[in-house]
Chain A
C-alpha cells in the first residue's frame, strides 16, 4: 500500500518516456517512476532479507541513489531505466556496509522526495484486509499456515517446508494454490459489504 496516490496513474506512459521527463527535471515523472519501481525493489529485498523493516530500509536506500543519479543526469539510456534500478539493487546488495554512511548525507538532500514512496502500515483495518480475513477462513489450516509462514513470518521456501513437515515440492504447490484461491476470493465483493 502506498502512501500517496499516483496522480496520473491512468495515463499509460512507458517507463522510458517517464525517465526522459524525469531527466529533464520533471519531478512528477520522477515520483511516478519511484512509485512504479518500489514494489519490484521490495520484492528484490524480500527475497534476500528477513524483516519488513530491513526491506523498507533497502527500498529507501535504492530510491535515494536512483533519485540522486537521475538528478545528476547519470541515467544514460532512459529506455533502460528498469535495468538501471535493478543494477542499483544488485550493487547495494553486494556492499551495503560501504553505503550506510553515505545514506545519511543523501537523506538530508533527497529524503523528502523519497519518503512519498514509503509503504504505510494501515492503522485502521481496510476493506482489503477484511476481505482477506473473510477469505482465509475458507482455506484449510495447512494452506493458511503455508501462506502465513511465507508472508507473515517471512520464512524462505526451505524453512516453510521444514516447519510444515512436508516436501519442498508439496509446500510450493500448497502455497501456490492458496495464493491463487485468495487472489480470486478477495477480488469478489462480500455480502457483509452491503450490510455496512
Chain B
C-alpha cells in the first residue's frame, strides 16, 4: 500500500528533478512532515483582505532602452560548457520533448 505522504514527497521531488529512491524518501519523510507541521501555524492567521507582498520594493516600471550591447563573452560561455560540441552546448538526447 502506498503511503500518500511518501507518494507526495516523491512527486514533489520529481517536479524538482531530485530523485528520491524508496529509502531516501522514507528517511526524509518524517523530517519533511515535522517541518511542515512546524510551519502550519501560518494557516491559522486570518489574512482576509490583506494584500500579498509581491516584491521587496515599491518600484514600478523599470525599463531599459533597446540598445544592442554585445557581451563579448559568447566564446567564454561556450568554453564553460560541460560538453561543448563546436558552436553548440551538447546535452544528452531528449526522450519525447519537454518535461
Chains A and B bind each other: no
Residues of B within 8 A of A (CB): none
Residues of A within 8 A of B (CB): none
